Chain A
């Protein structure tokens, strides 16, 4: 390409470039530059105050021996696994029902979708008030009904993860229900009509038509839900702060605490952008690998069936 033709091409497409430019600038400033900064920080020790100390691979060796990282990884896997296996089938069932010609189905849809538009921190604070062991309404209800004699410590070691999961599932149901609803809307009605002529109704329709036809969207929904489950931390931060004894600390919460210690600088984490960047990088790799494995597996399932 000679200079003249390059110039003339730029001139010819200047409207296109002009329209691309703002987005491109934002991309560089707010996505590419921070990523590069994070990649660079992995080789430094930096506390936002003072020198950038080059530490070579020290952050990586710290990561390998960091019991809190491995504990957070284990918690994240448990959290993501249970969140997914509860949320996906439940949101599909919900979508299936609110897609039926029921009276008031739009109201149901709106109610189920509402948690998606409520701020996670507000939602979690409300749930904290509902579940707190000293005057929470859940315990009061259970005691009034005579199901339990003593208040259950929902945020204690035994139940903290279960409580966090319950609330996370509640918050996510409506969102994935909407995805499934849009998938259900794409199934042509004539398939159901011809199946009905062949005598397929009820469960047979669901099992042999709806579920197979929903496979592509389910694949995408699971992938999105998987990534989101790995990224959850706001609800946990409000509800338990990762405790007790770090039993609900997930990877993203750990990264957040490394980058923005919550007033516990002498506590279990100390502000360290360099190490935070390393944990963030390792987490991104882990999430990437798990998502890739899932996509491969789901493609293989597609080919098999």
Chain B
């Protein structure tokens, strides 16, 4: 009897387990929700709030470093705006995109959101509405060339975001190390050959003190190369993507890669570059053990608060391949800022707030307090510079521009190793350049052609 009931108990348990499994299968296999489809599109529509009622606008951002300043400004806007708009400001950094998607699925999306990455995926999903109807001729004149950039703030001919702040790239160098090595700190290298020579001199003279000429954070080849090799190549007009023909061509880019490989082969790289992350690189620079490296505007804040240093450091426009500036640099995270959500019921009110936080006065104060670098030239020339040491080296120059994204940055999927890994291995002396250019051209152009033919990507040209 006991045995029988045990058997029955087992049967019951199996039945329950089976049912639960089936339930989870069915729930798991349910049709995936269409993110924006659940939300009522606000495109081209707007509802007016009852007279006397506040118009609620929710604003989501990924940034926390400016939280106090933004909260203060939001309170100021709420107290002074004439449209009775009440903005709620929410900053979140963890799982931002997942939370945003969930909010859209449950029809609780914010009215304004800051895209965490490029606008394309947000637009494709129908999360953002075009803002062309709000942009006046004056606005377009104000933003100039920084507006209308494919995949950066424009998608399929419509504008979805506007430029505000960003990061430009420079060669960061230690003036104290230059002096110790017998180099003139006011004459940083202008060509890659000069950079190689400077790195060699620093290493030769100061290696015994643990000081090396040049550093790259090659633990992640992409992270190291987008801020250095890519930008030297852009400024030298040797970039891997040809915006005229809309195709990849790595032949000129490979020459720039080779100059970095030569510096490594000379033994002028800071040891352990293969496993070096950007933060350990910065700490070693702050300690005076690295002569030069390439990075963006964010280094100003790094040496001001994250790794304060007593070293005298400077920054200058990146060197070019042969000393001739044939191209321009692009700026990181520039060209896009805020998007109006497709679930926003009061787009005019949302735009009113965006106008407030993109006004000359607001942006100037934001930059002066050191929260960001203005990338709109017409605004930047009116704004005061940040008082934090080093920011003056990053004042905008003509070659600091915003360029369209190359296809792989705009979502082109590449199978296997990326060109960053392949060329990164060449820099570190772990792979040969033989046949690599042809292989990368073939791999990237094949993927691009397939994506364009299938309609999943529009051709990217200038």
Contact = CB atoms under 8 A, between A and B. Distances in A.
Our verdict on whether A and B bind, yes or no, reads yes
Interface in B115-160: 117, 121-122, 124-125
Nearest to A44: B32
A48 B98 contact: yes
B417 interface: yes
A66 B416 contact: yes
Interface of A is mostly: loop
B335 to A, nearest CB: 16
Contact of A13 (B9, B34, B417): B9
A61 B186 CA distance: 56
B3 interface: no
A123 B218 CA distance: 22
A156 B418 contact: no
- Range class of the A interface residue count: 35 or more
B388 interface: no
A246 B421 contact: yes
Contacts of B117: 265
Interface residues of B, number: 57
B67 interface: no
Nearest to A28: B20
A28 B18 CA distance: 11
A106 interface: no
Contact of B125 (A12, A37, A50, A153): A50
Interface in B29-64: 29, 32, 34-35
B97 A134 contact: no
B397 interface: no
B5 interface: yes
Interface stretch (B86-94, B271-279, B308-316, B375-383): B271-279
A230 B237 CA distance: 46
A49 B121 contact: yes
B8 A243 contact: no
B271 A134 contact: yes
Interface stretch (A75-83, A87-95, A266-274): A266-274
B125 A268 contact: no
Interface string B145-181: 0000000000000000000000000000000000000
B275 A264 contact: no
B289 A134 contact: yes
Contacts of A66: 415-416
Given A9-B8, A40-B29, A134-B210, A267 B275 contact: no
B430 interface: yes
A268 B222 contact: yes
B431 interface: yes
Nearest to B116: A49
Given A240-B219, A240-B275, A245-B428, A268 B32 contact: no
Contacts of A6: 12
A263 B219 contact: no
Interface string A88-113: 00000000000000000000000000
Nearest to A39: B28
Contacts of A241: 219-220, 275, 277
A272 B415 CA distance: 12
Contact of A65 (B9, B13, B17, B415): B415
19 contacts: A9-B5, A13-B9, A28-B20, A28-B21, A33-B28, A36-B24, A36-B25, A50-B124, A51-B32, A128-B275, A133-B272, A134-B284, A160-B274, A240-B275, A243-B218, A243-B275, A267-B220, A268-B418, A270-B413
